[in-house]
């Protein structure tokens, strides 16, 4: 299906997958709505919304850090173990079952 897209929707076309109407469109419409509301809202309301947005981003990042911390600490322990053994630290995804199938082998070649 060939569709002529307006300028603000450019970038939604992916050669392999057709139109990506999902999250990118929602994000762009949300930004457009925030710009429109921000142009007529009071300065206090804008600052309050900015504070709320920063708080939400911090909360989301803290949750992500907590979810990733077991893997990060396991990698740190492996790094320290290799240093104490007098080796040059090398990342080997096969030592970590949770990462074995999620790491691109080309990104971490074996030494």
Average pLDDT over residues 5-11: 55
Distance separating the N- and C-terminal Cα atoms of the chain: 48
Both 76 and 107 in one domain: the answer is yes
Both 65 and 81 in one domain: the answer is yes
Both 89 and 35 in one domain: the answer is no
- How much is the pTM? 0.56
Average pLDDT over residues 7-29: 65
- Which residue reads 């603000």 in tokens? 8
Percent of residues, the chain, with pLDDT higher than 90: 50
pLDDT of residue 66: 95
Phi–psi pair at 96, nearest 5 degrees: -125, 100
Distance between CA 9 and CA 31 in Å, rounded?
Answer: 13
Per-residue DSSP letter, 50: H
Average pLDDT over residues 76-82: 94
User: Domain residues for 7?
Assistant: 1-40
Element (H, E) at 19: strand 18-19
pLDDT of residue 5: 53
Average pLDDT over residues 62-69: 94
């Amino acid at each position: 299906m060939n569709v002529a897209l307006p300028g603000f929707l450019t970038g939604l076309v992916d050669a392999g997958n057709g139109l990506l109407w999902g999250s990118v469109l929602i994000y762009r419409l949300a930004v457009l709505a925030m710009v429109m509301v921000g142009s007529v809202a009071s300065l206090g309301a804008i600052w309050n919304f900015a504070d709320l947005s920063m708080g939400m981003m911090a909360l989301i990042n803290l949750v992500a850090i907590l979810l990733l911390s077991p893997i990060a600490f396991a990698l740190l322990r492996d790094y320290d173990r290799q240093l104490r053994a007098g080796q040059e630290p090398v990342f080997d995804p096969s030592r970590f079952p949770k990462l074995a199938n999620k790491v691109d082998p080309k990104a971490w070649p074996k030494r």
